[in-house]
Structure 1
Amino acid sequence: MKKKQPMNSPILVNDKQELLNHPATQVTKWWLPDDILFFTEIPKTSVENFSKKTIARIVRSWQTDRSPEGRSARDI
Protein backbone atom coordinates (compact mmCIF):
# COMPACT_ATOMS: atom_id res chain seq x y z
CA MET A 1 0.00 0.00 0.00
CA LYS A 2 1.35 3.42 -0.98
CA LYS A 3 2.03 5.71 1.96
CA LYS A 4 0.07 8.98 1.82
CA GLN A 5 2.11 12.15 1.94
CA PRO A 6 0.77 14.95 4.16
CA MET A 7 -0.81 17.77 2.13
CA ASN A 8 1.34 20.49 3.71
CA SER A 9 4.65 18.87 2.79
CA PRO A 10 6.37 20.05 -0.40
CA ILE A 11 6.28 17.75 -3.40
CA LEU A 12 8.47 17.50 -6.46
CA VAL A 13 6.58 16.90 -9.69
CA ASN A 14 7.82 16.22 -13.19
CA ASP A 15 4.82 17.38 -15.20
CA LYS A 16 1.39 19.00 -15.04
CA GLN A 17 -0.50 15.69 -14.96
CA GLU A 18 1.47 14.51 -11.95
CA LEU A 19 0.69 17.79 -10.18
CA LEU A 20 -3.02 17.38 -10.92
CA ASN A 21 -3.04 13.75 -9.76
CA HIS A 22 -1.12 14.20 -6.50
CA PRO A 23 -3.92 15.66 -4.31
CA ALA A 24 -6.43 13.20 -5.80
CA THR A 25 -5.32 10.66 -3.21
CA GLN A 26 -5.97 13.16 -0.40
CA VAL A 27 -9.19 15.00 -1.25
CA THR A 28 -12.45 14.51 -3.12
CA LYS A 29 -12.38 14.97 -6.89
CA TRP A 30 -14.63 18.04 -7.00
CA TRP A 31 -12.08 20.00 -4.94
CA LEU A 32 -9.46 19.60 -7.67
CA PRO A 33 -8.94 22.05 -10.55
CA ASP A 34 -9.76 20.98 -14.10
CA ASP A 35 -6.47 22.34 -15.35
CA ILE A 36 -3.46 24.39 -14.29
CA LEU A 37 -1.87 27.35 -16.05
CA PHE A 38 1.84 28.00 -15.65
CA PHE A 39 3.25 31.50 -16.09
CA THR A 40 6.93 32.04 -16.84
CA GLU A 41 6.52 35.59 -15.56
CA ILE A 42 3.68 37.11 -13.53
CA PRO A 43 2.44 40.34 -15.17
CA LYS A 44 2.88 43.32 -12.84
CA THR A 45 1.67 46.90 -12.71
CA SER A 46 3.96 49.93 -12.73
CA VAL A 47 4.16 49.73 -8.91
CA GLU A 48 5.08 46.02 -8.97
CA ASN A 49 1.70 44.65 -7.84
CA PHE A 50 0.27 41.64 -9.66
CA SER A 51 -1.75 42.86 -12.64
CA LYS A 52 -5.00 41.00 -12.03
CA LYS A 53 -6.60 42.52 -15.14
CA THR A 54 -3.80 41.24 -17.36
CA ILE A 55 -3.88 37.81 -15.72
CA ALA A 56 -7.68 37.66 -16.19
CA ARG A 57 -7.28 38.61 -19.87
CA ILE A 58 -4.68 35.85 -20.37
CA VAL A 59 -6.92 33.28 -18.65
CA ARG A 60 -9.97 34.32 -20.72
CA SER A 61 -7.92 34.02 -23.89
CA TRP A 62 -6.68 30.59 -22.82
CA GLN A 63 -10.25 29.44 -22.01
CA THR A 64 -11.48 30.61 -25.42
CA ASP A 65 -8.68 28.74 -27.17
CA ARG A 66 -9.44 25.45 -25.44
CA SER A 67 -13.25 25.50 -25.20
CA PRO A 68 -15.51 23.88 -27.82
CA GLU A 69 -16.49 26.10 -30.76
CA GLY A 70 -14.13 28.84 -29.56
CA ARG A 71 -16.51 29.99 -26.82
CA SER A 72 -15.23 30.93 -23.39
CA ALA A 73 -16.46 29.21 -20.24
CA ARG A 74 -18.58 32.29 -19.40
CA ASP A 75 -20.44 32.04 -22.73
CA ILE A 76 -21.48 28.40 -22.19
Structure 2
Amino acid sequence: MLTNIRHRNIVKLYGFCLHNKCMFLVYEYMERGSLFYALRTDVEAVELGWTRRVTFIKAIAHALSYLHHDCTPPIVH
Protein backbone atom coordinates (compact mmCIF):
# COMPACT_ATOMS: atom_id res chain seq x y z
CA MET A 1 0.00 0.00 0.00
CA LEU A 2 2.76 2.47 0.93
CA THR A 3 4.54 1.86 -2.37
CA ASN A 4 1.51 3.28 -4.21
CA ILE A 5 1.55 6.68 -2.50
CA ARG A 6 2.18 9.53 -4.94
CA HIS A 7 2.67 12.99 -3.47
CA ARG A 8 5.38 15.53 -4.22
CA ASN A 9 6.19 15.99 -0.50
CA ILE A 10 6.44 12.28 0.32
CA VAL A 11 9.56 10.32 -0.55
CA LYS A 12 8.78 7.35 -2.78
CA LEU A 13 9.00 3.96 -1.06
CA TYR A 14 10.09 1.31 -3.55
CA GLY A 15 9.93 -1.69 -1.26
CA PHE A 16 11.23 -3.42 1.82
CA CYS A 17 13.01 -6.54 2.97
CA LEU A 18 12.26 -8.38 6.19
CA HIS A 19 14.83 -10.80 7.53
CA ASN A 20 15.27 -12.52 10.89
CA LYS A 21 17.19 -9.74 12.61
CA CYS A 22 16.92 -6.75 10.31
CA MET A 23 14.57 -4.78 8.12
CA PHE A 24 15.43 -2.64 5.11
CA LEU A 25 13.27 0.06 3.57
CA VAL A 26 14.17 1.10 0.04
CA TYR A 27 13.33 4.76 -0.58
CA GLU A 28 13.94 7.17 -3.41
CA TYR A 29 17.39 8.76 -3.24
CA MET A 30 17.40 12.22 -1.65
CA GLU A 31 20.40 14.11 -3.00
CA ARG A 32 20.65 16.63 -0.15
CA GLY A 33 19.60 14.19 2.56
CA SER A 34 16.69 14.27 4.95
CA LEU A 35 15.33 17.05 7.15
CA PHE A 36 16.68 15.11 10.14
CA TYR A 37 20.16 15.30 8.64
CA ALA A 38 19.83 19.04 8.04
CA LEU A 39 18.82 19.68 11.67
CA ARG A 40 21.08 17.26 13.54
CA THR A 41 24.24 19.37 13.38
CA ASP A 42 24.50 22.98 14.48
CA VAL A 43 26.21 24.11 11.28
CA GLU A 44 23.55 22.59 9.03
CA ALA A 45 20.71 23.82 11.27
CA VAL A 46 21.97 27.42 11.19
CA GLU A 47 22.04 27.34 7.39
CA LEU A 48 18.37 26.30 7.37
CA GLY A 49 16.71 29.65 8.04
CA TRP A 50 13.27 30.18 9.51
CA THR A 51 11.66 30.99 6.16
CA ARG A 52 12.76 27.64 4.74
CA ARG A 53 11.70 25.86 7.93
CA VAL A 54 8.18 27.32 7.62
CA THR A 55 8.08 26.20 3.97
CA PHE A 56 9.07 22.67 5.04
CA ILE A 57 6.43 22.63 7.78
CA LYS A 58 3.74 23.62 5.28
CA ALA A 59 4.89 20.89 2.90
CA ILE A 60 4.76 18.32 5.69
CA ALA A 61 1.25 19.46 6.63
CA HIS A 62 0.11 19.03 3.01
CA ALA A 63 1.65 15.55 2.89
CA LEU A 64 -0.11 14.52 6.12
CA SER A 65 -3.39 15.91 4.83
CA TYR A 66 -2.92 13.84 1.67
CA LEU A 67 -2.33 10.68 3.73
CA HIS A 68 -5.40 11.31 5.88
CA HIS A 69 -7.88 12.59 3.31
CA ASP A 70 -6.82 11.80 -0.25
CA CYS A 71 -5.49 8.23 -0.06
CA THR A 72 -7.85 5.31 -0.51
CA PRO A 73 -8.02 3.91 2.09
CA PRO A 74 -6.81 6.79 4.29
CA ILE A 75 -3.52 6.23 6.10
CA VAL A 76 -3.79 7.35 9.70
CA HIS A 77 -0.68 6.99 11.84
Q: Shared fold by TM > 0.5?
A: no
Please identify which structure carries the higher strand content.
2
**Larger RCO (alpha carbons 8 Å, 6+ apart):** 2
Structure 2 length-normalised TM: 0.31
Which protein has the larger Cα radius of gyration, Structure 1 or Structure 2? 1
Please identify which structure carries the higher helix content.
2
Structure 1 length-normalised TM: 0.31
